[in-house]
Every structure is written in structure tokens, then in C-alpha cells.
């Protein structure tokens, strides 16, 4: 079982500067986490894991994902560096993105986790002048972006002509350090189009952390992904199953109750919110073990208190939970 942390880099209610991000990333590495991940937004979402899509505090500083990850590649030494996930619509043309990813993999000594998705937030698109196409188009563009990246990373002078993007004898040198290329993580849960792209191209499939899930729901989607894999002649076992989750952990139940009450979105019942990774260390071990038994081999955690510079949950989980779940 591997563990990653989605490190906040801009949240309402506080100023998340580079020093705070650097401190969290270095602490993750010191504590033995496997990876840190950065999200790809241009303005911060509300200080809740379940934001309304048009609610933004536009005056809050928010650091850009790729630039920040490049800096952390130099600051850190061993921990893997992931995008959680890049919005393919923002990262065009895809050939340039592939070149950037190959460069970052070289700078980091082969530590990049290439997470990418189709994007979803129309307001961000409008603010930055990016065309907001319907979901089916964005997902097909995502697939062509991944196809181009694979070619750029593995072929000497690849060409590709798709409906949305093309390359002609494109050169990408140096190639990524990781062979054949950095692991491709695709996040999302679209039953038809997204999971088909996962089945064809992903090395890692991530269930988004802010999305309500129960073991029964997860099994349903895992089995659906397996059927998509069968149709394209691929073994589901070749895809790492990654669970995104929201973490609240404490040995003091009174403090835990106060923390959960502070961060639980109003639109959710307490029962629904408690389906996340919430509880004492022993309860967290039980929940992670339950999903491990369903095939999940990576947990990527969003820790709400981390945005305030509070590293307590990060440390407690590493000290009391992770050692019990390592292979």
C-alpha cells in the first residue's frame, strides 16, 4: 500500500505561500509518504471538499501547479511528484506538455507521476479564455493528448493526426528517465467515456477524493472498468487502483468531532461525510484495509487542516497508520 498527499497551494481563509507548500512537501518526504500531488486550478476552490462550481474567493493567492511542481523537484530528493490532475484543456498543445513532462522527469531523476483529466469547471475556462466544450469532446481531447504524449516519450520522430490535435515528426529529447514513460494517472469516474480512456491508456486510475463513495459503489465502478478493459483486450490487473480520500485523524474524539463539524459541507449529512477517511488511527487502518481488500493499492489524501499549516494529521497518520499497512 502506497500513500500520497494532495498538498494545498492556495485556499480561502489563509495565504498559502511557497514557504508553506515547501514545508508540507519536505515533511511528507521526511515522514515517508510515497508521493505528493498538486491540483491544476487557476483560482482556489472554496474551503470545502465539496465546492459549488461557481463559488470562488478570487482574491486569494493560488500558485500554479506545473511551476510549483518544478520547484519542488529541486527541493525534494526521493518523494514522487504528481499532478492531481492536469486539466488537458489548459495544457495545449499536448506535444508541448509532453516535452515539459519529459523535462521535469529528468530534473527530478525520474519521479514524475503524470496525472491528467478532462477538466470540469466552466468558470475557470471562461476566465482564461479557454473554450469550454461539452464533456464528450473534452474527454476525446484528453485521449488524444495522452496518445501524443506516449508517442513523444517513446518514438524518435512520431507523427499523429487526430480529430483535435496532430504532430508531424516531433522531436522530444531528452526522453523521460522512466521507461517506457512516467506512470499515467487518469482521474475521474465517467461510466462510459472516461473509464474507456482509463482502460486504454492509464497506468493508474484514481477515484476523486471529494466524491462520495461506499465499498458497494466502488466495487460497481471497478467491475465496470474491468469490462471496459476486456473490450480493449487489457488486463485490469495492469492498472493501479488509487483512492482519493479526505482525511481527518485524531486520537482525541472530542477534537475530531470539532474538526469534522468545522469542515463538513452544509449540503452533506454527517453520515455521508463520515464515509471519508475519518476517525482514530485504528479506524483509519480499518477503512484503508477494507479498500485494500477491494484491490486499491494507493491512497491519496486531501487533508483539510493542512491548508492552515497544521501538520498534526499528516504526522499522526504517518506514525500510527502507515506502518500497519505497508506491504
The model's pLDDT over 187-243, given as tens digits with 9 standing for 90+, comes to 988 999 999 999 999 999 999 887 888 999 999 999 999 999 999 999 999 999 999
Q: Which three cell numbers stand for residue 253?
A: 474524539
266: which residues sit within 8 A by CB, 6+ positions away?
Answer: none
**pTM above threshold 0.75:** yes
Query: Which residue is associated with the grid cell 472498468?
Result: 225
pLDDT digits (tens, 9 = 90+) for 68-117: 999 999 999 999 999 999 999 999 999 999 999 999 999 999 999 999 99
Check if the beta carbon of residue 249 is closer than 8 Å to that of residue 281: yes
Under the banding of pLDDT at 50, 70 and 90, the label for residue 11 is: low
pLDDT(13) > 60? no
Dist. CA 253–CA 279, nearest whole Å: 8
Dist. CA 282–CA 272, nearest whole Å: 20
- For residue 285, the model assigns a pLDDT of 97
Cα pseudo-dihedral 129, 134, 139, 144, rounded to 10: -60
Dist. CA 23–CA 65, nearest whole Å: 16
The residue segments making up the domain with residue 66 are 2-325
Phi-psi group of 190: left, alpha or beta (phi > 0 → left; psi -120 to 50 → alpha; rest → beta) = beta
- For residue 60, the model assigns a pLDDT of 73
Under the banding of pLDDT at 50, 70 and 90, the label for residue 49 is: very low
Phi-psi group of 316: left, alpha or beta (phi > 0 → left; psi -120 to 50 → alpha; rest → beta) = alpha
Q: Average per-residue pLDDT in the chain?
A: 92
- For residue 47, the model assigns a pLDDT of 45
286: which residues sit within 8 A by CB, 6+ positions away?
Answer: none
Number of domains present in the structure of the chain? 1
In CATH, what number is assigned to the domain containing residue 8?
3.20.20.30
Amino acid at each position: 500500500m502506497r500513500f500520497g498527499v494532495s498538498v494545498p497551494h492556495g485556499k480561502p481563509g489563509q495565504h498559502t505561500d511557497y514557504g508553506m507548500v515547501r514545508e508540507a512537501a519536505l515533511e511528507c518526504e521526511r515522514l515517508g509518504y510515497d508521493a505528493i500531488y498538486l491540483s491544476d486550478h487557476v483560482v482556489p476552490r472554496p474551503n470545502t471538499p465539496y465546492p459549488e462550481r461557481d463559488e470562488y474567493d478570487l482574491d486569494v493567492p493560488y500558485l500554479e501547479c506545473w511551476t510549483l511542481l518544478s520547484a519542488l523537484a529541486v527541493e525534494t530528493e526521493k518523494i514522487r511528484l504528481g499532478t492531481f490532475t492536469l486539466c488537458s484543456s489548459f495544457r495545449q498543445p499536448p506535444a508541448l506538455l509532453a516535452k515539459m513532462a519529459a523535462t521535469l522527469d529528468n530534473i527530478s531523476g525520474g519521479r514524475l507521476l503524470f496525472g491528467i483529466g478532462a477538466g470540469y469547471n466552466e468558470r475557470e475556462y471562461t476566465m482564461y479564455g479557454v473554450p469550454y466544450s461539452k464533456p464528450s469532446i473534452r474527454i476525446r481531447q484528453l485521449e488524444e493528448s495522452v496518445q501524443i504524449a506516449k508517442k513523444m516519450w517513446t518514438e524518435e520522430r512520431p507523427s499523429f493526426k487526430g480529430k483535435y490535435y496532430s504532430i508531424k515528426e516531433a522531436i522530444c529529447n531528452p526522453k523521460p528517465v522512466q521507461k517506457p514513460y512516467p506512470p499515467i494517472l487518469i482521474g475521474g469516474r465517467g461510466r462510459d467515456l472516461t473509464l474507456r480512456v482509463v482502460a486504454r491508456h492509464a497506468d493508474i486510475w484514481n477515484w476523486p477524493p471529494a466524491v462520495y463513495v461506499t465499498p458497494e459503489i466502488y466495487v460497481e465502478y471497478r467491475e465496470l472498468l474491468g469490462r471496459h478493459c476486456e473490450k480493449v483486450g487489457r488486463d485490469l490487473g495492469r492498472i493501479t487502483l488509487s483512492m482519493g480520500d479526505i482525511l481527518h485523524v485524531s486520537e482525541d474524539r472530542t477534537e475530531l468531532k470539532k474538526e469534522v463539524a468545522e469542515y463538513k459541507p452544509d449540503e452533506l449529512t454527517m453520515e455521508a461525510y463520515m464515509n471519508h477517511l475519518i476517525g482514530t488511527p485504528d479506524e483509519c487502518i480499518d477503512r484503508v484495509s477494507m479498500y485494500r481488500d477491494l484491490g486499491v493499492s494507493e491512497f491519496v489524501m486531501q487533508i483539510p487542516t493542512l491548508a492552515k499549516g497544521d501538520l498534526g494529521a499528516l504526522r499522526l497518520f504517518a506514525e500510527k497508520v502507515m506502518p500497519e499497512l505497508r506491504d
